[in-house]
Structure 1
Amino acid sequence: MTHRSLPRRLVIHATSVALAAAGALLPARAWAAGPVMPRLPVARTLPAADWVDVTDDPSGITFKLPARPTVTRTSKPDCRMYAAASAATSETVSVCDIPGTDKVDYLYSTADGALDAFRKKAGNDVDSGTQETEVEGRPALDLHASGKNDPPQRLLFTARYIADDPYSVSALSFAYAKNEKALDQEHRQLLDSLHLPP
C-alpha cells in the first residue's frame, strides 16, 4: 500500500494507541515473541444481546462491545478509543475527528499505520489483505492481518475503517489463531452494531 497525504505519523500514533489499548486486554504473552504459550481452551463467543451499548458523544456514533470499555483519548488527531475484551477476542472502536480530510486517502493511510503497528506487535512476518467497501453509503476499507508465528501464539487482526467527514471510525478485533471462529463472529457482531448518524 502507498502512504497517502494525511501526516503518517499522526495516523500511526492513533492506530498504535488503539492497538496498545486492545493489546493490553490480551495477556502480555500474546504480544511477546518469546516461548510458545501453554495450550488454553478455545473460548466461547458472548451473545450479541449481552454486549454493552456505547455512544461516542461528540459524533453520535453508536456500537456495542463485549464489556464496559476502557476509554483512551488522543489529541493529535483528536480520537476517542473504546476497548473491551470477551473471553475470546479484544475489540476496539476508535472515532477520530478528521474534518476536511480526503476520505479514501485517510482510509489507506490508517490501514498502513495499523499494519505497521501490528507488525511491530506480531513480528515482521505478517500476511495481510485489504478490500474496499461501503458502509451506509460511506467509503470503507476492510483489513485482515495474521502473524506467521506458530499457533497457538499466532495473532489475528481484522478491522474496518470508515471515513465520513468530519469523523472516521475504526473497528478493530484481535484474537489468537485458536479463536479464529470467535474472532470472525464477534467482529461481525461489532460491525452489525455500528451505526453512524445521517
Structure 2
Amino acid sequence: MDLTLINVELKPPGEPMKTARRFVHTATTASLTAVLTGAAMGGATAVSTPQDFARTGSLRIAATAGGPVTSPPRGVAAQWVDTTDAPSGITVKLPGRAKVEHDSFTLSGKTYQIRRYKVSVGKNKVAFEVVDMHGADPKPELDPAVRGAAASISGTITRNQPLKVAGHSAREGRITFDNHGVPSVTLVRSVAADDHLVGLVAGGPATDEHGVKQLYQQLTSSLRIP
C-alpha cells in the first residue's frame, strides 16, 4: 500500500486560493483531482468530475519531495482489516488483505505446517503466522522460534526477551540483517496460544525503523486469541 504526500492548490472562481496536504494512495492525477477537490475544500463543494472543476476554477496537484512513504501516517490505521486464521480462530489486523500461504516450518528438529499471511506497506512488510503444534506444548519453542527467524535471514539478534500477552507466554526479538546490501531490521513476537504457535513480524529498512515499530505496535496490539 504505497502512500504519497501531495500538495493541493485550488482556486474556485471569485474565491481565494485554498491549499491542503494529504496522504493518498498511489493513483492517477485524474483520480486524485476528483478526490482531493472536495477534501481541500473541507467538503463544502461537491465536484463530480475533474473536468467540471477545470471549467470553473484552477487546480494543481504535486507530490512533495520524497515521493511514496514507507509507513502509514497517523489516521491510516482505520484501513487495517481483520485477518482470521480459520483453523485456529486467531485474529489480527493487517494493513490490507492477505491471502494465506502454506509452508513447512522446522523447529527443534521437528517439521510443522505453517499458515502465513503477509502484506507489504511500501518497503516494509508485515506478517501473521500460525503453526499447529498438534498437541505439543508451544512454550518451549518460543525462544527457538525467534532464533529460527534470525537464522532464516542470516540476521543478528539484538534483543530476545520473554513477556506475557493476555496471559499467554511469549517471546519478543529484534533482528538486524543485510537485505541485498540494505541494512534492515525485523521485529518479531512469538506467542504460545494453547496448541498453536503464533508469529507476528514487521520488518523493513533500518532507516525507517520508526515506521517498522509503528506497524509492529499496531499488529501486536490487535492480536485476539479465542
TM-score by length of 2: 0.61
Task: Say which structure is richer in strand.
Answer: 2
Paired with 1:148 and 1:55, the residues of 2 have a C-alpha distance of 31
Q: Using CA pairs below 8 Å that are at least 6 residues apart, which structure has the higher relative contact order?
A: 1
1:148-193 alpha-carbon deviations (Å, 9 max, x no partner): 79xx820100000001221110001111012111100110000111
1:32-47 equivalent positions in 2, closer than 5 A: 43-45=70-72, 47=76
2:115 alignment partner in structure 1: 80
Unpaired stretches in structure 2, ≥5 consecutive residues = 1-65, 105-110
Q: Does the CA contact (< 8 Å) of 2:114 and 2:131 recur in 1?
A: yes
Moved over 3 A (4+): 39-42
1:2-49 alpha-carbon deviations (Å, 9 max, x no partner): xxxxxxxxxxxxxxxxxxxxxxxxxxxxxxxxxxxxx98653425221
Question: Which amino acid letter does the alignment assign opposite residue 137 of structure 1?
Answer: G
Paired with 2:141 and 2:82, the residues of 1 have a C-alpha distance of 27
Question: Which amino acid letter does the alignment assign opposite residue 150 of structure 2?
Answer: L
Paired with 1:41 and 1:68, the residues of 2 have a C-alpha distance of 20
Decide which structure has the larger Cα Rg and report it: 2
Question: Which amino acid letter does the alignment assign opposite residue 43 of structure 1?
Answer: T
1:145 alignment partner in structure 2: 175
Paired with 2:101 and 2:178, the residues of 1 have a C-alpha distance of 29
Q: Any idea what SS the aligned residue of 2:187 has?
A: strand
RMSD over equivalenced CA pairs, Å: 2.4
Pairing partner for 1:129 from 155, 159, 164: 159
Paired with 1:170 and 1:129, the residues of 2 have a C-alpha distance of 16
Task: Say which structure is richer in helix.
Answer: 1
Q: Per-residue deviation at 1:110?
A: 1.1
Identity %: 30
